[in-house]
Amino acid sequence: MTAVETTVAPRAGIKARGFGKLFATELKVWLRDPAAVFFALVFPSLLLLGLGLAIPDFSKPMTDAPPPWNEAPGVTSYLPTIIALAVGTIALTTMPVQFATFREKGILKRLSTTPMPPQNLIGAHLVINVLALIVSTCAAVVGSMVVLGVPFAADPLTVLLVLVLSTSAMFSLGLLVAARAEKGATASGLGMLLYFPSLMFSGVWVPLSVMPDWMETIGLYLPLGAAAQGLTVGWFGTDGFPLAQVLVLVGWTVVLFPLGVKLFRWT
Amino acid sequence: MTSPVVEVRNLRKTYPGAGRGAAPKTAVADVSFQVARGEIFGILGPNGAGKTTTVECLAGLRHADGGTIRVLGHDPQADPTAVREHVGVQLQEAALHDKITVGEALDVFGSFYPQRADSAELLDLLDLTAHRDQQFGKLSGGQKQRLSIALALVGRPQVAILDELTTGLDPAARRATWDLVERVRDSGVTVLLVTHFMDEAERLCDRLVVIDAGRVVAEGTPAALIEGLEGHRGVRLRFADDAARSRAAQLLTALSERDPDVVGVVPAGDEIEVTGTRKVLFAVVQALAAADVVPDDVRTVERTLEDVFVQVTGRAYRAEENEEVAA
């Protein structure tokens, strides 16, 4: 029986023989890297809780906001930014370094000699990163609700939609950053170059609520800025549907993803 | 009945030149050979000769510019997936996550193949049983190399390609690895061994090709290649004193002028080296005995594949320097 099967061409995608084993092993090995796990899973929540407890304005109610938000603590307006930060941290810091390191160490080339296509290793890690993002976002949301008393999203479906699109846009950008880098360090440098401006326009340092108009306008056209703005609109539910932000995120994905896949070097 | 397991005909591969206006670099100009089932076949040559490019084309990792390749009847260029289940490859560099353990690596690689070797048996064969739970990053160079071979064998391949597998190993580990390669061959796997070590090829290979500057310059069994060297038998003679030596030098120079079996007579330190055909030793001893000149010591000079390389290329073998010359 097995002898007959050997003549059948191997398949790509999750149907490839051994994909389950590959995924499980990659997840297990990924969890052994404390720095990657910390930045992907814990860092956003830690930053949010730390700032929420340390900055006095963050615990006072937002008295000038429309009801019912006038009773919510100030940190509420910062939560969407932190969710965007969680997406950006994985997409621009941990993921490109991972992928470039696979190339640097010859892991992609090594897999190319086996029946398992190296595309599946990248696929497995995209899934692992999505799982990490779900964990880190849930931790930030639940942590801020329990510890800081932040109310839940007014429009959870919009938040979910914007989160999915933010992930696809930012992961596409991360894939492009990793596409050509010969070394993990190169990808890390390039990722950082994009990471810090992205954080600035998504309100990490200057909160969205007090951001000057020109910055907000630039932010709208950047993937992480659009993500933070869209998440804010969905969380508060007072400004309708964030159509412009959703279109921007779709646009970035449509441009960046095929480019990242096309340029990606597998050896 | 026994068609070749691997057949390469007129393989050619050119890389675009690095940098603007740089000339393209021909890595493989014209390489042909056949590998029979169950042998250890060597691809020998200095670094930069085109060996790795050749096996990367074989493994379907690179597209050749010309020529044909058949591996187990399949064309790895057109249909690489057909080849991958039956060809195990050990690449030059280590290629695993630092934090994956030996056992996990074998398990995950094994799961890619329709038939897989028994992990415990493989660990035992490669002397890695004690390191099963150790992480890859913490293994020694020799252990990493052995794991790399284990991963090439885990899918029960018909052909194993081993690329520079003893580079960086200490002499004891090298010899242990050589024994291992023979055991792999004895278990029925055809081995394609890529190496720049002359001694390794001579010791291990049933047959081999010598590649230089992208071309096959010699092909055959190591013994036949060495046997085929013309005028390359050497005899070294040592004498008790200078008088005897100069007398012998006179006699032998005269001999070389009338006897076609004696080709060259050159002083080598306080010895005399005489080269010639396979009859050279006989002719030298006879001539000296007739004149009653008795040497203290007579040695035949060992000939190696290195001499073969010198003869076919006309230059000394420098495994490491060739790359700079070619680049």
Q: How would you write the pLDDT of chain A (267 residues) with one tens digit per residue?
A: 333 333 334 445 556 788 999 999 999 999 998 988 888 899 999 999 998 899 888 888 888 888 788 889 989 999 999 999 999 999 999 999 999 999 999 999 999 999 999 999 999 999 999 999 999 999 999 999 999 999 999 999 999 999 999 999 999 999 999 998 989 999 999 999 999 999 999 998 888 888 999 999 999 999 999 999 999 999 999 889 999 999 999 999 999 999 999 999 987
Using a CB-CB cut-off of 8 Å, the residues of chain A touching B84 are 10, 113-115
Q: Which of B180, B201, B226 is the last residue of a domain?
A: B226
CB A202 within 8 A of CB A79: no
Residue A220: exposure state from Cβ atoms within 10 A (0-12, 13-18, ≥19): middle
Same domain, B250 and B165: no
- What is the tens place of the pLDDT at every residue in A131-151? 999 999 999 999 999 999 999
In a domain, B94, yes or no: no
Which of B:81-140 have CB within 8 Å of A?
81-82, 84-87, 89, 91, 93-97, 99-100, 104, 107-115
Residue where a domain stops, chosen among B172, B205, B226: B226
pLDDT in tens, B159-172: 999 998 888 778 88
Residue B240 phi, psi (nearest 5): -70, -35
The CATH number of the domain holding residue B248 is: 3.30.70.270
- Whether A211 and A219 have beta carbons less than 8 Å apart is answered as yes
Q: Give yes or no: residues B45 and B177 share one domain.
A: yes
Q: Which helix (H) or strand (E) holds B289?
A: helix B280-290
Answer whether residue B105 is part of any domain: no
Tell me, what DSSP letter sits at residue B94?
Answer: -
What residue ranges in A98-176 does DSSP mark as E strands?
Answer: none
Whether residues B286 and B245 share a domain: the answer is yes
Q: Is A183 on the interface with B (CB under 8 A)?
A: no
- For the segment B268-303, what is each residue's pLDDT rounded down to a tens digit? 888 898 988 888 888 998 999 998 888 889 888 878
- Residue B132 sits at φ, ψ, to 5 deg, of -50, -40
Q: Which two three-digit tokens encode residue A157?
A: 């479906």
SS3 of B25, please? Answer: strand
**H or E stretch covering B151:** helix B141-153
A167 with A126: CB under 8 angstroms?
no
Q: Share the mean pLDDT of chain A.
A: 90
Does the residue B152 lie in any domain? no
Question: Of A255 and B307, which is predicted with more confidence?
Answer: A255
Chosen for mutation from A110, A125, A182, A265 (greatest number of chain B CBs closer than 10 Å) is A110
Nearest CA in chain B to A32: B99
B65 with B162, same domain: the answer is yes
Query: CA-CA distance, B144 to B159, in Å (whole number)?
Result: 21
pLDDT at B23: 79
B76 in the same domain as B13: yes
Q: Which of B87, B93, B112 sits opposite A17 (nearest CB)?
A: B112
The domain tally of chain B equals: 2
Mean pLDDT, all residues of chain B: 87
Residue type, A192: M
**Containing structural domain, residue B261:** 233-302
Residues B139, B102: contact at Cβ < 8 Å? Answer: yes
The total of other beta-carbon atoms located within 10 Å of residue B307's CB is 18
pLDDT in tens, B109-154: 999 999 898 889 889 888 899 999 999 999 988 888 889 989 999 9
Q: What gap in Å lies between CA A193 and CA B178, rounded to an integer?
A: 49
Instruction: Please check whether residues B185 and B212 belong to one and the same domain.
Output: yes
Q: Do A17 and B108 touch (CB under 8 A)?
A: no
Last residue of a domain, one of B206, B226, B246: B226
